[in-house]
């Protein structure tokens, strides 16, 4: 720009800007996001998806195919499994991955389909709350699970797993 152009009428001085500078505010990206959250989320979806396939199918196999199959499932069966730290870890991983995977999927769907920011905020708040409740509850159950329950008389409940006999006595 040359010095002689000082009196040029520029958009800032009250003249409407050329359209090339005028953009519907709806399309302006509010701020550049920092970090790589979306990338991590994207990778997580793929890794957790693959892990869940293994976790879920082994879970289904051990519950439904091995031994008596579907007929063996009762309180005792579950209690028996969770007495084993391997299964505890297995189910914990499955719970966390499945919940985070599903929640992130829902988050994406809300992002893609909710058109208003406020709608989005509400839906996501509910989603995250639900997710947190289920994860916390599930984790608590896995770690604080009491397999050998006694009735008022101090006897083992009759659906207790067999190893309780030795524990109680």
112 binds other proteins (CB under 8 A): yes
114 binds other proteins (CB under 8 A): yes
118 binds other proteins (CB under 8 A): no
**Contact 74/81 with Cβ under 8 angstroms?**
no
Nearer to other proteins, 21 or 85 (CB): 21
Residues 6 or more apart whose CB falls under 8 angstroms from that of 127 comprise 103, 106, 107, 110
The DSSP letter of residue 57 is: H
- Candidate residues 4, 118, 144, 166; the one interacting with other proteins per rule CB under 8 A: 4
Nearer to other proteins, 39 or 153 (CB): 39
Q: How far apart are CA 160 and CA 75, in angstroms?
A: 7
Shortest CB 105 distance to other proteins, Å: 11
Burial annotation 22-51 (CB, 10 A radius, 16+ → b, else e): eeeeeeeeeeeeeeeeeeeeeeeeeebeee
Nearer to other proteins, 8 or 66 (CB): 8
- Site map for other proteins, 9-48, x if CB under 8 A? x-----xx-xxx-xxx-xxxx--xx--xxxx-xxx-----
Would you tell me which residues interact with other proteins (CB under 8 A)? 1-2, 4-5, 7-9, 15-16, 18-20, 22-24, 26-29, 32-33, 36-39, 41-43, 108, 111-115
């Amino acid at each position: 720009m040359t010095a002689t152009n000082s009196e040029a009428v520029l958009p800032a001085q009250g003249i409407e800007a050329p359209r090339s500078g005028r953009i519907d505010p709806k399309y302006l990206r509010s701020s550049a996001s920092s970090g790589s959250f979306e990338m991590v989320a994207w990778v997580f979806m793929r890794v957790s998806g693959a892990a869940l396939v293994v976790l879920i199918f082994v879970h289904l196999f051990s519950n439904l195919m091995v031994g008596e199959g579907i007929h063996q499932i009762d309180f005792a069966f579950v209690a028996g499994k969770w007495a084993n730290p391997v299964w505890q870890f297995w189910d914990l991983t499955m719970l966390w991955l499945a919940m985070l995977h599903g929640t992130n999927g829902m988050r994406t769907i809300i992002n893609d389909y909710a058109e208003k920011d406020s709608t989005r905020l509400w839906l996501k708040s509910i989603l995250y709350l639900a997710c947190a409740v289920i994860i916390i509850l599930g984790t608590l159950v896995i770690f604080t699970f009491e397999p050998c329950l006694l009735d008022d008389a101090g006897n083992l409940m009759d659906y207790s797993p067999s190893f309780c006999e030795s524990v109680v006595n």
